[in-house]
Structure 1
Amino acid sequence: MNIRVVVVDDEPLARLAVKLRLARRSGFELVGEFADGDSAYEGIAALRPDLVFVDVAMPGKTGLEVLAALPPAQRPMAILLTAYDGFALQAFELAALDYLLKPVDDDRLDEALDRAQQAFPYRGQGRSAPPAAPTTRSFSVRVGTRTVLVPVAEVERIEADGDYATLHANGKTWLVRERLHKLATQLDPRQFHRVHRSTIVRLDMIAELRSLTNRDALLRLRDGSVLRASRSYMPALAEALQHLNKQSA
């Protein structure tokens, strides 16, 4: 099931930049674009997209006003676009997944799209259908002249290491010749979540979550490890943990 996307920005080049990057990613379908807040409000209400990229400062309604005017049950996942680094509080009050500073960096946009794919299975209004099971059952790891298969079910967390990634599984670490971003697309979002741009964690490994004053959080894992969760990943993570708790209740 594709994530249906609307792009809202009064700058044609800004809309084009997002559309070109969306076209490079599978799993997303552009269903509309708008150049001002008033038409965006009407279009989003009519199209009912799953995700909206929305500029904060636009003619008519601002991007924040567009989101706030929509009933919560009809409000899509949102990624804010802005030239100013000062909208984090309003963004998260409206449950926005992320906000990206212009000009938008490719890696940051990929992170935001990853976050949307992670949050998508838990959305209401017919958006809660579980994703297809991932094809990856194990990771191939080169150890000298040998190739070792590490089962995904044994992986507890994954950390970025430059262009590679380190798997933590059963007290051992394994270096994988893949970037963290690519590994994230191979994992079931019902079981694994990105909690930082450099860390993916298996949800059932989280034993405690402690909020910090800057809206980040500290995660204590069942093996005693302590990790930092970035505030930009917290809305999707909180929703996934809520869903996991309902399943185990």
Structure 2
Amino acid sequence: MIRVAVVDDEPLARSGVIARLAAHGDIALVGEYGDGTSALDGLRGEVPDLVFIDVQMPGMSGLEVLAALPATLRPMAILLTAHDSFAVRAFELNAIDYLLKPVDDDRFVEALERARRLHAYRCMAPVAPEPDTRCGQSAYRTRFAVRIGRRTAFVDATDVEWIEADGDYATLHVGAHAHLLRESLNRLSRQLDPMHFIRVHRSTIVRIDRVAELQPLSNRDALLRLRDGTPMRASRTYIEPLLERLKGMGYAAR
């Protein structure tokens, strides 16, 4: 679960971000603030993982709020702004992205996906000097119980090559077999180890080491091909984290 705070002096802008966050089950809203001073006090007390924060506010700006927080308490930040001329200072303060107002839905999802990925890496980093107490101890799914006729079989997560949405359910693809799982893709995306599985489309999750080829398309989407030859489309909303993961594993786009 990612603990999130929202800071914006415009009530409509603040409520718009909160409404978008409500669609994501792995997000817990821990605070909302209408000015920099109250935000600074609130963020010191709640210590969220991520903050959506307006850059320009009366009194104390969003960047000033972040700068006033000790580095150990400073959350990841997605900046809300009408301008993009503050990049250097912003990224010194742990800002991972910015959203231009009015906020575009696709860019919102893209920024949130980046935060999810970084949060997961923080929690699992083996070289961290000490554990992040905000990460919790929840384990990722290692097995799935699936129905095959009248019997129940157990599928190891390591054997799953890709998963696709099937209405309110999901289908696990394991070799030549497909198993219907009575869980939504959104729920599964929060239960799978992000070091091994990555979402590439709103209806598709793949096991990263099963990707054999990636071909960029003109609209910023990409065509993937798995080791067994299965083709699938990767949406531009998810393409950046996918490219970063593939690059880290030695793959190159073709």
Would the TM-score normalized by the shorter structure come out above 0.5? yes
TM-fit CA distance, 1:195: 0.6
Indicate the residue corresponding to 1:187 in structure 2.
Answer: 192
Whether the aligned pair in 2 keeps the contact of 1:119 and 1:239 (CA below 8 Å) is no
Name 1:50's counterpart in structure 2. Answer: 76
Classify the secondary structure of the residue corresponding to 2:191. coil
Residue equivalent to 1:70:
89
Partner of residue 211 from structure 2, selected from 206, 222, 225: 206
CA offsets 1:58-99 (integer angstroms, 9 cap, x no match) = xxxx3x334x233646443236264365xx9xxxxxxxxx61
1:152 is aligned to 2:148: no
1:189 shift after superposition: 0.3
Cα 1:76–1:238 shift into 2, 3 Å: farther
Structure whose CA Rg is larger: 2
Residues 1:179 and 1:153: Cα distance change in structure 2 (over 3 Å): same
Do 1:157 and 1:167's aligned partners in 2 also have CA atoms closer than 8 Å?
Answer: yes
Alpha-carbon distance in 1 for matches of 2:146, 2:120: 30
SS at match of 1:42: helix
Cα 1:40–1:216, aligned 2, differ >3 Å: closer, same or farther? same
Taking every aligned residue pair, what percent have the same amino acid on both sides?
A: 45
**For 1:133 and 1:35, how far apart are their aligned partners in 2?**
32
Equivalent AA in structure 1 for residue 176 of structure 2: G
1:168 to 173, 190, 198: 173
Once the two structures are TM-superposed, the CA of residue 159 in structure 1 deviates from its matched residue by 0.5
For 1:239 and 1:3, locate their aligned partners in 2 and report how far apart those are by CA, in whole Å: 21
Q: Which residue of 2 aligns with 1:99?
A: 107
CA contact (8 A) 2:76 2:115 kept: no
Are the counterparts in 2 of residues 203 and 241 from structure 1 also a CA contact under 8 Å? yes
Alignment match, 2:241: 236
Question: Distance in 2 between the 1:10 and 1:219 partners?
Answer: 43
After superposition, what is the alpha-carbon deviation per residue over 1:142-192, rounded to whole angstroms, capped at 9, x for unaligned?
233222211101000000111011111122111111110001111100000
Q: Deviations over 1:9-47 (max 9, x none)?
A: 442243245457469645776536655426112223444
CA distance in 2, matches of 1:177, 1:82: 38
Give the direction of change, closer, same or farther, for the CA distance of 1:221–1:45 in structure 2 (3 Å limit).
farther
Structure 2 residue matching 1:224: 3-state secondary structure: coil
The aligned length equals: 216
Which residue of 136, 142, 145 maps to 2:141? 136
Equivalent position SS for 1:227: strand
1:162 is matched by which residue type in structure 2? G
Shift of the alpha carbon at 1:3? 5.0
User: Cα gap change, 1:74/1:208 in structure 2, threshold over 3 Å: closer, same or farther?
Assistant: farther
* Equivalent pair of 1:209/1:219 in contact (CA under 8 Å): yes
Task: Calculate the aligned-residue CA RMSD, in Å.
Answer: 3.6
